[in-house]
Structure 1
Amino acid sequence: MKKLILVFLFLIASAFASDIKVQVLGSGGPELNDNRASSAYIIWVDNKSKILVDFGGGAALRFEEVKAKIEDLDIILLTHLHIDHTADLPALLKASFFSNRFKDIEIYGPDKGLFVPDTKTFINRLFENKKGAWEYMGDFLDGNAQFKLQTTVIPFSKEIKTIYDKNNIKIKAISVNHGPIPATAYKVSIDGKSITFSGDMSGKYSTLEKLAVNSNILIAHNAVPKGAQGVAKNLHMTPDIIGYIAKEAKVKNLVLSHRMLRTLGKEDITKKEIRKYYEGKINFAEDKSIYLVQ
């Protein structure tokens, strides 16, 4: 009898659960000639484009192509402030002028480092009145536009922090190592399902495996191949490190993105290295690839 009740409750919960998908808008890195947009992801909740993670070059066009709507966005998460993760933000915000959006957008990103400002200063430098690169868009900061940008800086921490908990969406963050550039990984949980985004990272802090534990999907950046050394290895995970983290975190589905020319065409080798540790699903992302979170 108890089993029947549990099954009945599960069916009821499933019927009312949100439909959650993650879509890769940009699966490439900072290079040209790879026929890919730079890093960008969108989380769809009940067919609404609710959350963006990064928004690099080419992402604005992909956003349009997948029929996402600026009006539906609640949150933008920036893993770090490199050009290939942020370049199309001004284009997105300019386009919003021609939309019916009136609700503020919350932006989250890492603290300052040796070569980059903190995320709030970064946004101000883009749009601030009389100071910003696009100062004519300063009304997005001073409250005179149809909506306002609300930017939150995430301090460096090797411990998991909850940064957002509203409307059945919970977002946790932790710092990851991307050489000298402050970087943050995110875990977005909705209705008990979760997607973790590694961003660019080397694995040196051993923090991603803590954050990503039991994730339905881990989107990991496959920017360097087996045997990478020097600067490349200091900035990015080699395939064996990706496999180790996916295994330790017990993720259900591993999606490899941020695919660069030095890794394209080496999928078999990459997969073999990952398989030394991880036995679950492996997908190599393309622009506009979409994954059901289940």
Structure 2
Amino acid sequence: MRYFLVVLLLLGAPKSLALEPPYCGDEGVWIQILGSGSLEFGNPRAAPSYLVWIDNRARLMIDAGAGAALRFDESGAAFTDLDALVLSHLHLEHTGDLANLLAASRDADRTGLFPLFGPAGENGEKATRDYINRLIGSKGAFNELSDLLKFKSSTGYKVSVRDVPAVGRRRWSQFSSEHLKLSAVPVHHGGTPSLAWRVDIGEQSVVFAGDLNNQKDTLSAFAANTDALVISHVLPDHARGADRETQLTPSQIGRIAEASNARFLILSSRAKRTFGIESASKAAIEKTYKGPLIFANDLECWGL
């Protein structure tokens, strides 16, 4: 097993020194944490967002929470290299920087289509396509970006939005590129259409679970034998009541990771209420899951 944390040491560096972007390795598959936090005051982290690097190129972006555009730029990734962007669900915490990211992309010299996938509820309700139209369409909040939705876009590329059903238990698997294959499965997150995403790169895989409480019990089988399971750590283990309608406790995370036989586990979307009790969360998870466990931080890179 190999997985590496690449850390940029800045302490004591002169202020005039140009900062080098974090480095995720020349070869192989790497997960970069763009945002490891949640949307709340007092949380010094960007909101959830991730990159999958393949042979030193960022090929997939998952979610675009607040701070994602800045972290994307800091990572050294190129927008032209992305095969797609996928959204786990449409809550602000996971999409808040999407308009900023797309605005910044206008001078990225990308051509052709830019696939963007996200959930849609029953009968097409709460659909990603509608969300994007309300966000950047001709009558949207940021209609100065509406050109991005046109085939003859002045930017040189078109955002191609596709809804993925987030109802029932059926697995979706209708996108692949020369670099990766995507699949998704509905997960329960209260009344919000939500998806877990799996990225298969040859014999390796990563699963981004997003926010869920696993009421549908779809995640373990979907994440079977994955190399890395990235999952939200929002609740302490003693959480009760309405919180558990939308999120997992550490004990539940441990059971899912063990049942899926994940090679290692990354805890992200770290909420302020979990700060300072990492040892308790770790102990709760390790009651059932014995593999390596990582508490994510912004801009870290982990290799498969």
Question: 2-side partners of 1:103 and 1:194: how far apart?
Answer: 27
Instruction: Show the 5 A alignment for 1:149-160.
Output: 149-155=159-165, 156-160=167-171
Please say if 1:284 is aligned against 2:295: yes
Cα drift, residue 32 of structure 1: 2.2
TM-score by length of 2: 0.87
Question: 1-side partners of 2:232 and 2:163: how far apart?
Answer: 23
Over residues 213-262 of structure 1, what are the superposed CA-to-partner deviations in whole Å (9 max), with x where a residue is unaligned? 00000001101011111221111000011000000000001000000011
2:67 corresponds to which residue? 58
173-182 or 158-167, which deviates more = 158-167
1:189 corresponds to which residue? 200
- Any stretches of 5+ residues in structure 2 without a counterpart? 1-26
Amino acid at match of 1:19: G
Question: 1-side partners of 2:286 and 2:108: how far apart?
Answer: 46
Amino acid at match of 1:176: V
Please say if 1:122 is aligned against 2:138: no
Cα drift, residue 159 of structure 1: 2.6
Instruction: Show the 5 A alignment for 1:262-273.
Output: 262-273=273-284
Instruction: Show the 5 A alignment for 1:223-234.
Output: 223-234=234-245
2:113 corresponds to which residue? 104
Cα RMSD (Å): 1.5
2:39 equivalent among 14, 30, 45: 30
TM-score by length of 1: 0.90
1:89 corresponds to which residue? 98
Amino acid at match of 2:151: G
Whether the 8 Å contact between 2:83 and 2:177 is mirrored in structure 1 is no
2:209 corresponds to which residue? 198
Question: 2-side partners of 1:104 and 1:69: how far apart?
Answer: 15
Cα drift, residue 166 of structure 1: 2.5
- Any stretches of 5+ residues in structure 1 without a counterpart? 1-17
Cα drift, residue 168 of structure 1: 4.1
**Following TM superposition, where does structure 1 have runs of at least 4 consecutive aligned residues deviating by more than 2 angstroms?**
none
Cα drift, residue 164 of structure 1: 1.3
Question: 2-side partners of 1:157 and 1:167: how far apart?
Answer: 29
2:182 corresponds to which residue? 171
Q: What is the SS of the residue equivalent to 2:118?
A: strand
Over residues 16-37 of structure 1, what are the superposed CA-to-partner deviations in whole Å (9 max), with x where a residue is unaligned? xx61101010001111211100
1:135 equivalent among 111, 135, 143: 143
2:255 equivalent among 244, 255, 264: 244
1:255 corresponds to which residue? 266
Over residues 136-179 of structure 1, what are the superposed CA-to-partner deviations in whole Å (9 max), with x where a residue is unaligned? 21111122321111111111231322131231411111000101
Whether the 8 Å contact between 1:176 and 1:205 is mirrored in structure 2 is yes
Question: What percent identity do the matched residue pairs reach?
Answer: 35
Q: What is the SS of the residue equivalent to 2:283?
A: helix
Q: How many residues align?
A: 275
Cα drift, residue 186 of structure 1: 0.6
Q: What is the SS of the residue equivalent to 1:125?
A: helix
